[in-house]
Structures are given as C-alpha cells and as structure tokens.
Structure 1
Amino acid sequence: MTAFVLVNISLFAILGATALAITRMRALYEATMLTALFSLVTGSLFVLLDAVDVAFTEAAVGVGISTVLLLGVLSLTRSREAVTPRRRRLPAALVVLFAGGALGYAAQDLPPFGSATTPVRDHPVTETYLVQSQQDMGIPNTVTSVLASYRGLDTLGELVVVFTAGVTVLLLLGPLTRRNHPVKKDLVLADYRVLRVVSGVLMPFILLFALYVLFHGDYGAGGGFQAGVIFASGFVLYGLVFGLDRVQQVLPQAVLWVLIPLGLLLFMGLGVATVLLGGSFLDYDTLRPDDTAAGQRLGILLVETAIGLTVATVMTSVFFSFTGRGASR
C-alpha cells in the first residue's frame, strides 16, 4: 500500500468518525465545530486529488463563512437539539440506508481509484480543455477557463442561484433598510484587547488577499467565488469583534443593497454587450476582435469580478441580518 493511498484512507476514516460524532451529538455548537472539521478534512482530500480550486472553495465556504453563519443562527435559537421522538427515527434511518445503498451500488461502475485509464484522462474533451484552452486564451489555470468562458452560461446560473438564495434569506430576516436592533454586550468581543488588536491588524491583509485571489485566479487556485467569501469573512471578523454598528459605519446596509445585484447585472450586461458586438452571448472574442486571447482574458476578469462582488455582498448581508436580530435564548 502506497503512502498516497494510506493518507487517503486515514482522512476518509477521520471523515467517517466525524460524521458519526455529529449524528450522535446534541450540543449544536460542538456539532457546528465538528462540521467545520469535516469540511477541512474534505478540503485536504481534494488537495490530494489535485483539485486545488475545489479545495480552496471548500476551505473558504465550508470551514470559514458557513461556520460563522451557523454560529449566527445558533445565537438566535437554543444551543441543544431537541430530542427526536423514537417513532420518527425509523423512517429517517430507512431513508439514509436507501440513499446510501443506492450510492454504493452506483459507485460499483466507477473506475478504480487512481487509475490512469479513467474517462477523465482518455476522453477527447479533456485534451480540448487542457490544450486548446491554452491556445485560445493563454490562461494557465484551466479551471478558470472552463468556469468563466467555456461554461460561462452555467456559471451565470450559479450566480443567479447565489443571488436568489441570498435575497430570499434577507427577505425572511427582514428588510435591510430597517435599523437593526442593538447587539447585546455579550456578543461584542472588542473588550478583549488581543482580539481587538489582532483583528485590526489582520483586516487589511484579509482584504488584500481577497484581491490577490480574485485577480490571480487565472494563474492559480482562486477566482470570484473564493475571493467573495474571503472579502465577506473580513467584514464578518470585524463585525464579530467590534460590533455591528462599527462595521456598518464602514459598509452601510444601503450600500449593500446596491452592490448585491450589481455583480449579477455586470455579468448579464457583459453577455448582452457581446451580442450587440455581433457575437454569441458571453462570447468574449468580440471584446477584442484583433486579439481574441486578450478578449477572453478581459471577459474572464470581468466575470470573476462580478462573481466576487455578488458573493461578498450576499454573504456579508446575511451575516448583518442575523447579527442585527440580537441573541435570544
């Protein structure tokens, strides 16, 4: 057994143990922390499988912003799970066993783990993406080329889902134009000098790293989704430490209402512009007819910026809404 396989088996065992612990745990705060651990180990597995972009997203979304939002939700409700009546456990267990069995049966058709003859390696589309994309766009990160150009329409659909989900959550929590309730003193961590100083020092570096991830996504792991979450995490950290009033002085709610649809409008407007220039929807070649590779890079940069803008503002707005409701027990 090679070291690579041994590490994968060890991480998978940790995933299984963590999942089992979560199902057995009634304390919701501890379960949230274990969920973050589950995402961290999953990201490590993605790194071993050379899916660095997916691992980056899992770390930023699963470990970072999702954990914070879950903690924000728990601050509005009880900290322990209600006891489920025994009569409801059997149907749930049957559903889990059926779904797990179906997935296990379907997995029998998958190629052997780590095989060099998988369809991913042998299919002609793979050669097109890995080789042709370099000639068409000159972007080293093939993942960025695929997401932002080849399947740009699909990525636009994903951004619409993020926008719709975010706006729905905000409408359920109440209008952002309404002044939020004051945050209770026990939710403000600014009294701890170490937290105050460290978070103040880290804030500009977090935002700078988000810009790096955004503009460096065509050369390495990163892009608009990851950058947007990192941007949001910076403001979330500032709000957790200094309180909601302080962070809203830097980023008012009215500004967020304007910025949330701006990214989506930029994405869709870019597609309309390419049509008006005589090309297909989201055909970036029309942006620079004399240099199609430069046109592709320009279009991808605008698309990534639009994605980062919408993701960052939606995540930040959701956190503001949860925090503004105050804690209740």
Structure 2
Amino acid sequence: MRNSRFRAVGALALSLILGTLPLAAQKKKDNLQKPLAGPRATALRVSWLYVTAATQAQKVGRVQIGRELVVAEKSGDWLRVFANTDIEEEHSSDAPIYDTTEVPPPISGWMQAKGVVIENTPNGDQILMGAGADQESLASDPRGPVNAARTAHLIYRRLVEMFPNSPLDAEAAWRAADILWQIQKTDSASRPSAKEKEPYMREQMDEDGLKKVIKYYPNTRSADFAAYELIDNKLCGDWQGQEKCPEKESELYEKYASEHPEGPRTPQALYQAVYRQAVLTNMYADDNNDKKSDAAHNHARELAARLKDKFPQSDYTARAAMLVFKLDQGIPVYGAEKE
C-alpha cells in the first residue's frame, strides 16, 4: 500500500520545502521546550489572520494547513496565535536543490477557532492522523492540490510534536519521513547521475528522518519500514552488466531479512534477493562460470523456499517461485537474450 501512495508525488518535488523530522518520542520528550506563550496547535483549513478578533478587521496574512501555531489567547470563537515558520527545522544543505519557494515569515494575529486542533483537543492525535492520511490520498490523485504531500508531511510532524505520548506517533513519524524520502527519490531518479553504477556518485536521499524513526521507535513496524527504505541509498544506479552490483544488493536484502524476520517488508526483501540471485545465475553463465552460476541458482531456490515457509500467502512468494521456475527451465531473466 505504501508503494502506491506517491504515484503522483514526482510533480511535487520542486515545490516541497524540505524539513527534518522532529521526533518527540519518550526518549527525547524532556528535550522539547514547550512554548511559553501557550499550547501548540495547527489548522486543518486555510485560515485568515486578522489584527483583531473580527472578520471586518485588517487581514495580517493566511495560515496554511499544517503550519505550526502557538495559542497565546482565546476569546470566544477566536484565537490569538503565533504562526511559526518551521525554518529552524530545515536542512540548509538541501535548500539549493529542493527549496524553490520562500519560507513564510512568522506572523501573529487573531483567527477563528474553527478547524484548529490544539494539543488539548480530545482525540486530537486521531484527528491529525486522519487529516494527514486524507492529504496523502489527495497527493496521489492527479486532480488533487499540488501541495498535498507537503501538507501531509506537516500534519504528521504536528501530530508527533503535539501528542508525544500518542500510540500513533511511530506511524506519523514514519509517514512524515517517508514523504520526504519518496520526493527526494523521485528527484534523484530524474538526474543524469541516477544511471551511475556506484551509489556514492548519484544524488543521495537525506537519511536523517528515517534514522530518527529507527532510533526513537525501535522494534516497531515503522522502524522496519524505515530500515528497508534506507537500502535505496546503497543500491547501484545501473548494474552495467557487472556481477558486483547484484552480489552486493542481494547481501543487503538478505541482511535486512535476517535483522527483521517478521517485518512488513521482509517478504519483499527476500524476493529482491531471489531476483538478484537469478540475475547472477545468468550473468555467471554468460561468463562461462558454471560453478558460480549453479551456486546462485541453488541460492535462489533456498531463498524462495524460505519465502514459501514463512510467508506462504505473499505475492512475493509466488513471484519468487516464478523466477525459480524460469531458471529451472533455462529461461533467462536477465541479459540480451531475456525472453
């Protein structure tokens, strides 16, 4: 499901303002400095800020969905807020590549309380999770707003910051980090360097957000997801017909499967290893290295059997069985003669 959530995200890459993921898990909760002015909040609709608590008053500016707010005062159905910039959480090293828009300046004023979630709002964490998921859905819709992915990222960040003890924190932290990863990955793939064989020769995705998910939410599905995505930075851009790449990548995926035996991405990791062993079977055969070709063929069978034993209902198990069948039938899965 995660793979399908960002099919339309490539068009958003140049409009996204990147930010690191501030994780407010229990381990770093004591490091969070609560604003002196009041509780944190965020708006779920675009709202106007006014000089005074009246719609007839002079407008100060607009608050976008997901922007960090601090509530300084409440008067009836109105809130006096400070709207922060989030600039302190940006990666300046990423700015020349991804930040093509101006960061909104900090502003303050009065806004209607309608649609504002405050850190003491009942079920506020669930509301923000729903809002973030809704924006993600819009991001994958070609007819959705162009800033939906960025908005989803901000909403998930707000959930982690405002509700540090929520059972939804790990999932929200992972989703926020994943959105940035997918957008950077799309941008990296569009560059000429994406075809370079060595990983270090192409644009690398920023690992900070994913590593924080692993650090602050260990032994969770979210950490398993994050660890799998980090493999992307270690993959070859183009194998260029050399055995070194699939050999190394197979090791990476097998290592992941060993370290995350019950993870949600483990079937996929094992399948990726099977595929690379199938490729190596063909590569070694083309080099007339029958001994290594037979060894890769047998290793592909072993990995496919492991998949069948542990994940019998997974599509990746069936796909691995198909690859082994082709190898057994002498049908190439890689190379110039691929059928």
TM-score, normalising length from structure 1? 0.30
Larger RCO: 1 or 2 (CA < 8 Å, sep 6+): 1
Higher strand share: 2
- Greater helix share, structure number: 1
